[in-house]
Amino acid sequence: MLYLFCGILSGAVLAAICAPLFRKEETLESAIIEETEWDLLQRKKEVILGNIQDLDFEYKCGKLSAEDYQKVRAEMNAEAAVVFQQIETLESSKDLDALIRREISARKDRSTTTCPSCASKNPNTNKFCADCGAKLKR
């Protein structure tokens, strides 16, 4: 019983450890994709847009005076414009990685559903049209 259990335990663990070593080629692990400049800019864009959305909501809740809101909103708009510009520049460059990413995101964009009511395009994940609220057909 003792030997059997110890044998099973060590056998199973050893098999799990050794299995990858005998595989021909592992593609995932060291296809280490570093965070590229494009990634960072995209993230920055998301953050700024999120901040703008938050600011708008807080203004609507009455937490900010009109003066404060307009000032901060203008600053945020300017920051967003800079990031958009940077993304645009990067994507129009001949950097291969950026081009591939642009192609991929273009492919992603194609996976949309057209609204039967107002003909606007929606991501496939939407159940209702973001534009008019009509139910989308799958």
Partner 1 sequence: MAQIGQFALALAWVVTAYSIVASLLGIRLKHDNLIASGRNAALGTFVCITSAIACLGYLFAVSDFSIKYIAAHSNRDLPIYFKVSSIWGGQEGSLLFWGWLLTAYSALVIVQNWRKHSAMMPYVVAVLMGTSFFFTSMHLFIVNPFNQTVFLQSDASPLPFVPHDGNGLNPLLQDPYMVIHPPMLYLGFVGFAVPFAFAIAAMITKQLGDTWIRTTRRWTMVAWMFLSIGIMLGGKWAYHELGWGGFWAWDPVENASMMPWLIGTAFLHSVMVQEKKGMLKVWNMVLIILTFIMSIFGTLLTRSGMVQSVHAFAQSPVGGYFRAFIIVALSGALYLLFDRLPYLKSENQMESIVSRESSFMFNNLILLAACFAVFWGTMFPIISEAATGSKITVGPPFFNKVNVPIAIFLMFLTGVGPLLAWRRASTNSLKRNFLSPAVIALASGVALYFRGVQHFYAWLSIVMSIFVTLTIIREFYKGAAARSSGTGETFLEAIVNLTLRNTRRYGGYVVHFGFVLLFIGWTGQAFTTDAEGEMGVGDTLSIREYTLRVDKLGIEDTPNYASDKATISLFEYGKKVANLYPEKRLYKAGQEKQPTTEVSIYSTAKNDVYLVFQGGTRDGKKAIIQVFYNPLTMWVWIGGIVLVAGTLIALLPNKKTILRRRPEIESKEERKEVEEKV
C-alpha–C-alpha distance, residues 137 and 122, integer Å: 11
* 25, 94, 106, 137: residue in contact with partner 1 (rule CB under 8 A): 25
Who's near 129: CB < 8 A, 6+ residues apart?
A: 115, 117, 118, 120, 122, 135, 136
40 versus 99: smaller Cβ distance to partner 1? 40
The yes or no reply on residue 64 touching partner 1 (CB under 8 A) is: yes
The site for partner 1, by CB under 8 A, has a size of: 52
Q: How far is the CB of 100 from partner 1 (least distance, A)?
A: 17
The yes or no reply on residue 74 touching partner 1 (CB under 8 A) is: no
C-alpha–C-alpha distance, residues 97 and 57, integer Å: 37
Within a 10 A sphere around the Cβ of 83, how many other Cβ atoms? 19
C-alpha–C-alpha distance, residues 97 and 105, integer Å: 12
C-alpha–C-alpha distance, residues 99 and 91, integer Å: 7
The yes or no reply on residue 82 touching partner 1 (CB under 8 A) is: no
C-alpha–C-alpha distance, residues 31 and 42, integer Å: 21
The yes or no reply on residue 6 touching partner 1 (CB under 8 A) is: yes
The yes or no reply on residue 49 touching partner 1 (CB under 8 A) is: no
* 47, 49, 100, 104: residue in contact with partner 1 (rule CB under 8 A): 47
Binding interface with partner 1 (CB under 8 A): 2, 5-6, 9-10, 12-13, 16-21, 23, 25-35, 40, 43, 47, 51, 54-55, 57-58, 60-65, 67-68, 72, 75, 118, 126-128, 130-134
